[in-house]
A = this chain, B = another copy of it.
Amino acid sequence: MQADEDLRARLIRVGGELIERGGPSAASLREIARSAGVSHGAPRRYFPTHLELLSAIARDGFTHLTAQVSAALVEAPGDPRARLATLARVYLDFAAAHRGRYELMFRHDLLESGHLGLRDVSLPLFQLLTDLVARIRPEPEPPARVVAGALWASLHGIAQLWYWGSLPLATGATDPAALLDATLTAHLGRTA
């Protein structure tokens, strides 16, 4: 079964690289197969459908994102507020550094297909966020889940609108740090 893992993993890796270079549209099934050095029918052994291969690549992206956030939190300060700021910064950095992959990770047709396994890939990260929020804001209202959801939506919105040009145009700013700071302050109070 090692051979299976080989081509399967190679397809995911090569597909990810293609997306990094040319965006999601560069990752056609046949192009991925060509870049991996196999015929266009080969991927079908592992991914019955193009969408499932893309879902695997997206899942890989979530794994990397979660790992990157976790790694950054290991050497982050103990203050929950500062840790949450670290989480947010790493999240936005990831979106900036891997725009194509980030876009893929939130494509609605992937999400709706069910192949992505949304629950498994996104809940760990959301749990990190919720825990930090709960430690920062001990008040019961609004519940930490809601605040964490609002923060996540903000992060996602900033990532998309900023790096795709809408927010720089509208706010006239040059980097999203001010937006992020305003968001965190609004939801969690001014930093200590």
Contacts and interface: CB of A to CB of B under 8 A. Distances in A.
A119 interface: yes
A2 interface: no
A186 B112 contact: no
Contacts of A142: 178, 181-182, 185
Contacts of A122: 166, 169-170
A153 B169 contact: no
A81 to B, nearest CB: 15
Interface residues of A, number: 48
Given A118-B166, A118-B169, A152-B157, A103 B111 contact: no
Nearest to A106: B160
Contacts of A167: 149, 152-153
A64 interface: no
Interface of A: 23, 25, 99, 103, 106, 108-109, 111-112, 118-119, 122-123, 126, 142, 145-150, 152-158, 160-162, 164-167, 169-173, 178-179, 181-183, 185-187
Given A112-B165, A153-B179, A157-B160, 12 more contacts: A118-B166, A122-B166, A122-B169, A142-B182, A148-B170, A148-B171, A149-B171, A150-B179, A150-B183, A154-B183, A157-B157, A182-B187
